[in-house]
Amino acid sequence: MRLHRSFLLLVAATTPLFGQGSDPGRLTLQRIFASRDFFGERFGPAKWLASGDAYTTLELAVGGGTDIVRYEAATGARTVLVPSARLIPAGAQDAIDIEDYSWSPDGKRLLVFTNSQRVWRENTRGDFWVLDLGNWRLRKLGGGAKPSTLMFAKFSPDGGRVAYVREHDLYVERLEGGAPAITRLTNDGSPTRINGTFDWVYEEELSLRDGFRWSPAGRRIAYWQLDVTGVKDFVLIDDTDSLYSFPVPVQYPKAGTTNSAARVGIVSTTGGATTWLAVPGDPRNNYIARMEWAGESADVVLQHLNRLQNTLTLYRADARTGLVKPILVERDSAWVDVVNDLRWLDGGRSFTWVSEKNGWRHLYVVSRDGTSSRDVTPGAFDIVNPAYLFGEPFVLGTDEQAGTVYLTASPDNPTQLYLYRARLDGQGAPARVTPASQPGTHAYDIAPGGRWAIHSWSSFGTPPVVQLVRLPSHEVVRTLVSNAELRARVAALTRGQAEFFRVRGGGEYDLDAWMIKPPGFDSTKKYPVLFNVYGEPAGQTVQDAWGGAQYLWHLMLAQQGYIVASVDNRGTPPPRGRAWRKSVYRKIGILATADQTAAARAVAQRRYVDPSRIGVWGWSGGGSMTLNLLFRSPDVYHMGMAVAPVTDLRFYDTIYTERYMGLPQDNAEDYRQSSPVTFANALRGDLLLVHGSGDDNVHFQNSETLINALVAAGKPFQMMEYPNRTHCICERQGTTLHLYSLLTRYLEEHLR
């Protein structure tokens, strides 16, 4: 008997899977995405004070609002440093909502960020207030600035001034005495000439947002200026927010097209002409990827990348004359990663540097002139930071008095992460600090001086615990967040076995993988398998860490009888050496497909797997990978759900795409072979395509182009567009629950 499709959907929509449910052991979409059942405890944001022996954090005030509270690391002594009542502006009834805050170097003033608005991915434009702890004077910065127009406000080294970006120009505001109170440092800012911040692609792919730096003495500011003329607009269309549709232009350089021109200038904090650094090369075909002052000096150092990103030159520049000279050069046959770890040591006579020149990602200490260096993390392993592509450093802290540096690594298990302590003189192997009794993933916020750290620890299926630990002993002084209630709710869930394992890929490597089996697993039965994929150089899916809502959704699917699995192919960022990561150069989508397919074939050979019911899903790069697997390996993958995929590599931005693929003008065939749309006519399985029409990152153009190719090939598929949602498909009420309900129903219909 064949039931009508609408009846099947009605049945699915009324099952407990889609409701709240009453069994604490069973997961539902409502519990995961629309309730507070699995919310964790809040902590922070915590800020270490300059002394390194105390930190501040945010806590709800008794009468409403938020207090800023100081804690002594050693004793736990608690002091309300800034009561919420001190943050009520004159004439207002409520305290300022603290979205972020920072302290002046002397700790006498507080800078509060509030009333923020989104700029591309993050809320970086808003209002700033300064509170003087001596007289409790609360002052809004910006003079007559329009609301939510200030960006990246920072105290001067003496704490008496604040610099910020306002509508594409740089300003300095004096906090006491003197005139004028506000000095405008640049006067040419516009939507096409950006001072002190960045355009879309610099922000997205080089993790650059805050584009200016105070000099150590506070007399100068070094800043980026971007000229974005010539960068074409990609026009998004808003069809729903007014009676008539209207365009939303985004300056977005697609692979092989014109980039912004970037340069760095030095300006006095009292105003005047800018001294531009004489950096060689065409600024539209090179990048200034990092810039900072060279310790306590009048020099600036900057990292200069050629357009292919296979040569990185570290320049030192004289801030007075603008003359530059190279200190060191990194080259690679594939690409060179930007270094987020240039820290000055020994009074500015040396600095830390990260390089893969010996085949592993290691930390080096380099002399100021670049003529000598030493490897301080010797051994056949990588140092690790999962967020380094987003601007986070590998170096977590230094203790120059002890001659040591702290960083994270995992020499024995690429799915985990631990704290290590290395000697700055390079003598001996780094020593593990994290206890062996705590397997999983560990993150650390280390205090100045390296004696204390805020430590977060989680593992697969286990929510994080946050502790204050003493270094280097790793003695737990106190627990800051136990997440006891969340842990209890997760522990009460009905769960099958979760295992980490290795499986042979398409080359000489075994690939890391995990698998969640259904509760009551019976090895004599045949189960469908859903693979979650990403597969790009920007992300790792196989990690022994708490996975939040996505882990819970995968667990819910396991409760419904699916095996859920994930594999990291070559080219992803696990700590498995340079050759592993860079083997995919100019083969994005090709080598990864071979690895994922080989792994799926191996899993399908297990006696409890139904090889006729293998599905795959992914988001962004994972959406692209889903399409590649469906199109290139249709005999293996029978169902796929691709969310916000790149379908033609020419459609994505310059910096990311060209880093891994080169220029499309030079190797058009590599681009064609790496793009899923090329093979759309090979689709045999079931495909669900999902995209937000307001996606400024992976444009809806990608899905529309694929739709045209599938229609031309006569291939059936299903499509869901979310109007005006961006790449996260998370805006507007009910969106996340709706999306995961859609994915779940599609699975029920096509892979059950």
Domain residue spans of the chain: 189-331, 496-750
**158/105 Cα distance (integer angstroms):** 7
Three-class SS of 7-47 = HHHHHHHHCHHHCCCCCCCCCCHHHHHCCCCCCCCCCCCCE
What's the pLDDT band for 447 if we cut at 50, 70, 90?
very high
Q: What is the pLDDT, as a whole number, of residue 138?
A: 96
Which has the minimum average pLDDT: 8-22, 332-346, 371-385, 400-414?
8-22
Q: How many CA atoms lie within 13 A of 571 on its CB side?
A: 29
CA distances from 198 to 141, 201, 366, 728 (A): 22, 8, 30, 21
Return the pLDDT at 17: 66
User: pLDDT tens-digit profile of 321-355?
Assistant: 999 999 999 999 999 999 999 999 999 999 999 99
What's the average model confidence in pLDDT over 612-635?
98
Q: How far apart are CA 231 and CA 242, in angstroms?
A: 28
Q: Is the pLDDT of residue 520 over 50?
A: yes
Percent of the chain with pLDDT over 90: 93
- Please tell me what DSSP assigns to residue 196: S
Q: How confident is the model at residue 9 (pLDDT cuts 50, 70, 90)?
A: very low
The confidence score (pLDDT) of residue 4 equals 33
Confidence class for position 508, pLDDT limits 50, 70, 90? confident
Look at residue 358 and tell me whether its pLDDT is greater than 80. Answer: yes
Q: Is the pLDDT of residue 42 over 90?
A: no
What's the mean pLDDT in 96-108? Answer: 95
pLDDT score of 5: 31
Q: What are 469-479's pLDDT values in tens digits? A: 999 999 999 99
With the CA atoms of 439, 441, 445 and 449 taken in that order, what torsion angle do they form, in degrees rounded to the nearest 10? 50
pLDDT given at position 391: 86
Residue 7 is predicted with a pLDDT of 29
Q: What digits encode the pLDDT tens for the residues 670-683?
A: 999 999 999 999 99
pLDDT of residue 11: 33
Q: Of 133-137, 294-298, 525-529, 662-666, which gets the smallest average pLDDT?
A: 294-298
| Cα(594)–Cα(125) distance, integer angstroms | 43
* Three-point CA angle 743, 748, 752, nearest 5°: 130
Count the Cβ atoms, other than its own, within 10 Å of residue 3: 9
For residues 110 and 152, the answer to whether their CB atoms sit within 8 Å is no
Q: Which residues contact 268 (CB under 8 A, 6 or more apart)?
A: 219, 220
- pLDDT of 6 reads 33
How much is the CA Rg of the chain, to the nearest whole Å? 27
**pLDDT (tens digit, 9 = 90+) per residue, 368-379?**
999 999 999 999
Residue 664 clears pLDDT 50, i.e. is over it? yes
Strand partners, 446: 453
Q: Which residue has the tokens 């450093």?
A: 393
Closest CA to 476 of 429, 421, 437: 437
Once rounded to an integer, what is the mean pLDDT over residues 637-662? 98
Query: What does the alpha-carbon distance between residue 328 and residue 346 come to, in Å, rounded to a whole number?
Result: 19
Residues 105-123 have a mean pLDDT of 93
The CATH code that applies to domain 496-750 is: 3.40.50.1820
Would you state the pLDDT for residue 13? 37
pLDDT in the model for residue 20: 65
pLDDT of residue 101: 96
Contact 325, 316 (CB under 8 A): yes
Distance CA 125, CA 209 (A): 11
- Going by C-alpha positions, the residue among 88, 128, 126, 127 that lies closest to residue 109 is 128
Residue with tokens 């999902």: 690
Peptide bond between residue 180 and the one before it cis (omega within 30 degrees of 0) = yes
Least confident of 176-180, 341-345, 359-363: 176-180
Round the average pLDDT of the chain to a whole number and report it: 95
Query: Is there a contact between 363 and 383 (Cβ–Cβ < 8 Å)?
Result: yes
- Residues in contact with 459: Cβ distance below 8 Å, sequence separation at least 6, in sequence order: 439, 440, 441, 544, 545, 546
Average pLDDT over residues 201-206: 96
CA dist., res. 734 & res. 224, Å (int)? 40
Report whether pLDDT(222) > 50: yes
Predicted TM-score of the model (pTM)? 0.94
Residue count of the chain, please give it. 752
Distance CA 148, CA 127 (A): 5
Distance CA 364, CA 426 (A): 8
pLDDT at 179: 61
Per residue in 567-596, pLDDT (tens digit) is 999 999 999 999 999 999 999 999 999 999
Q: How confident is the model at residue 294 (pLDDT cuts 50, 70, 90)?
A: very high
Mean pLDDT over 168-190 rounds to 91
User: For residues 413 and 204, what is the distance between their CA atoms, to the nearest angstrom?
Assistant: 30
Mean pLDDT of 270-294: 97
